[in-house]
Chain A
Amino acid sequence: MAVVFERPKALLDVSTHYCPGCTHGIIHRILCEVIDEMGIEGDAIGVCPVGCSVMAYDYFACDMIEAPHGRAPAVATGVKRSNPDKFVFTYQGDGDLAAIGTAETVHAATRGENIVVIFVNNGTYGMTGGQMAPTTLPGQVTQTTPYGRDPKIQGYPVRVCEMLSTLDGTALAQRVAVDSVPHIKEAKKAIRKAFENQKDKKGFSIVEVLSTCPTNWGLSPIEAIERLRNEVIPYYPLGVYKDKEGENND
């Protein structure tokens, strides 16, 4: 018998701090599978956010930098501009990317910063205990929207891929999910495409991954997957919002 499935080498052989059923682990793994398949671990530099994935630097085998909250795209800009031949990616949650780091995100995209952004959207601030995120759905109960998010009071969720797709510097804006095996395979393909874009100097590539937070959603891991499928995906339709094929940033 031969091994047909095991941990990618770019993902260090350690236990993560994530809660049971948290899909960060799946996203970490497919990202590392892409790094392995492209053989770029030695040339990759990752930037972690502040949030649940703040300690991702302990999990990825490539060089890692921990950025202040929301600033990962700016940090990655500094990394990429000083090392244009390296593969630079950020790994950010929704609070980090779409609230405190909105300016950094939008401007990295519009500059066509040749980086990959993995945007994990689970609609809540996980690390701080489940507060309202910019992507929290209308009606969703969180610690800071105990009666459900009311658009009249807290406004509406941000649809990041749609927003960034309007910018000329964005090469790829694709929304995927990790609720099923086919969707995970699709997500991995999108991440691969984002890294290929960087290799081809196409510009800013963002892959938004709809994810779960069983703990702060107050659901079991399986119920959380069902909610992702039945409530979240309909609000944030999956698909390619921008794909700058054939263009070159040189």
Chain B
Amino acid sequence: MERKLMKGNEALAEAAIRAGCKCFFGYPITPQTEISAYLAKNFAKAGGLFLQAESEIAAINMVLGASSTGTRVMTSSSSPGISLKSEGISYIAGSDLPAVIINVQRGGPGLGGIQPSQADYWQATKALGHGDFQLLVYAPASVQEMVDMVVKAFDKADEYRMPAMILADGFLGQMMEPIEFPEIKAEQVEKPWAANGHGGKRAHNIINSLYLKPEQLEKNVFERYERYEKIKATEADAEMYLTDDAEITLVAYGATARVVKSAVNMAREQGIKAGLVRPKTLWPFPVKQINEAAKSAEKFLVVEMSMGQMIDDVKLAINCSKPVEFMGRTGGMIMKPVEVLEEIKKIGGKK
């Protein structure tokens, strides 16, 4: 395997090329522009197509079009841009189309700021558009995971015929780390549903999300949710760090989890039995893993770069059977390991 030092956003873009992505449609927004810039420079050489759209709305609909023909396709944006894409994402989900969507989160609401944030958790996992649907949501915590997860996102999006999101943040996008590109298996799933010209060989394929008969629409949504149940049972993933005997278990994802891991190490050095559950998938949420940790944990501490969004899922996962505390910074601010350690000590003493 080849080892390279790369910036998160560029590594992700390179991984997408290697994963067989054929088209990228985007619109400039900080802090993800390196993805577009990298692809603009390198994609055509690899046989791919990079196109800068007139808006995020146009970009996501170009994704819808390319995906409808069975093409592996990706788009990338940051928080305000994802809001604009939400219409198209709902249609993509409603049309059972695979697509990979990158959100390198920045602070919000509104124009917010351009510093890292995790305040789009709710948007990604609960409400990325109107209607009953979900996205696969992957949460990388290193540049290597930016690479691995984008490869996985393409495969899983195809397998389940649904959009997949990489929910990163400005830290991961800008950070440089050594990485290895995995071996990519060449074959991809068949897409007999694709609208790529019937060639006189079959009846016409229709890519559509409109079902005017309520019983038909309900059936369609039910089928999608049966698929979601299967995904919940098999795809939920988390890193379990020192959780076996942890009395206080922290839950954090993405860049925040790196800070929390340092705090957990510091706590252990001081004899505090702390551990970390780091969700790698935010939808499906790693309910089983959280419950595994709950066997020893007396308390949970959820740490996020937001005002507390994932905390709800942690409480629901354990059915509120243990106290779940929260620590968060927002607006582009990130907590220091010592601050997290202080919080561990503070709530560790609370009964």
Q: Which residues of A contact B (CB under 8 A)?
A: 41-45, 47, 54-55, 57-58, 60-68, 71, 74-83, 86, 103-104, 106-107
Contact = CB atoms under 8 A, between A and B. Distances in A.
A44 B200 CA distance: 11
Contact of A77 (B22, B62, B87, B200): B62
B209 interface: yes
Contacts of A74: 53, 57-59, 61-62, 64-65
Given A45-B196, A63-B205, A86-B197, A78 B25 contact: yes
Contact of A42 (B54, B95, B197, B210): B197
B91 to A, nearest CB: 5
A58 B213 CA distance: 15
Nearest to A17: B212
24 contacts: A41-B198, A41-B200, A62-B197, A62-B198, A63-B195, A63-B205, A64-B206, A66-B206, A66-B207, A67-B61, A67-B64, A67-B91, A71-B64, A74-B57, A74-B62, A74-B64, A75-B64, A79-B66, A81-B23, A82-B65, A83-B196, A83-B197, A104-B54, A104-B58
A194 B125 CA distance: 44
Nearest to A43: B197
A186 B65 CA distance: 31
Interface string B1-31: 0000000000000000000001101000000
A57 B208 CA distance: 9
- 3 shortest interchain CB distances as A-B pairs: A78-B65, A74-B61, A78-B62
A200 B69 CA distance: 22
Interface of B: 22-23, 25, 49, 51, 53-55, 57-59, 61-69, 71, 73, 87-88, 91, 95, 195-201, 204-210
Contacts of B197: 42-45, 62-63, 83, 86
Nearest to B91: A68
Contacts of B64: 65, 67-68, 71, 74-75, 78
Given A44-B197, A57-B206, A103-B55, A82 B49 contact: yes
A63 B205 CA distance: 5
Contacts of A80: 65
A224 B198 CA distance: 38
A interface secondary structure, majority: helix
Given A81-B62, A104-B58, A45 B69 contact: yes
B207 A71 contact: no
A65 B23 CA distance: 18
Given A66-B208, A71-B88, A82-B22, A107 B196 contact: no
A110 B59 CA distance: 16
B157 to A, nearest CB: 16
Given A57-B208, A78-B23, A107-B54, A42 B65 contact: no
Contact of B88 (A45, A65, A68): A68
Of B49, B67, B199, B206, most A-chain CB atoms within 10 Å: B206
A77 B59 CA distance: 10
B198 A77 contact: no
A143 B342 CA distance: 64
A65 B68 contact: yes
A45 B53 contact: no
Of A57, A63, A80, most B-chain CB atoms within 10 Å: A63
A42 B195 CA distance: 11
A81 B49 contact: yes
Nearest to A50: B210
A103 B58 contact: yes
Nearest to B207: A65
A218 to B, nearest CB: 25
Contacts of B201: 42
Contacts of A107: 53-54, 58
B58 A45 contact: no
Contacts of B210: 54-55, 66
Given A64-B207, A68-B91, A103-B55, A78 B66 contact: yes
Nearest to B90: A68
A78 B54 contact: no
Contact of B66 (A47, A62, A81): A81
B207 A78 contact: no
Nearest to B53: A74
B303 to A, nearest CB: 37
A65 B199 CA distance: 16
A62 B196 CA distance: 9
B55 A79 contact: no
A60 B87 contact: no
Given A78-B23, A78-B63, A42 B198 contact: yes
A63 B196 contact: yes
A77 B65 contact: yes
A30 to B, nearest CB: 19
B235 to A, nearest CB: 27
A209 B55 CA distance: 28
Contacts of A68: 61, 64, 87-88, 91
Nearest to B200: A42
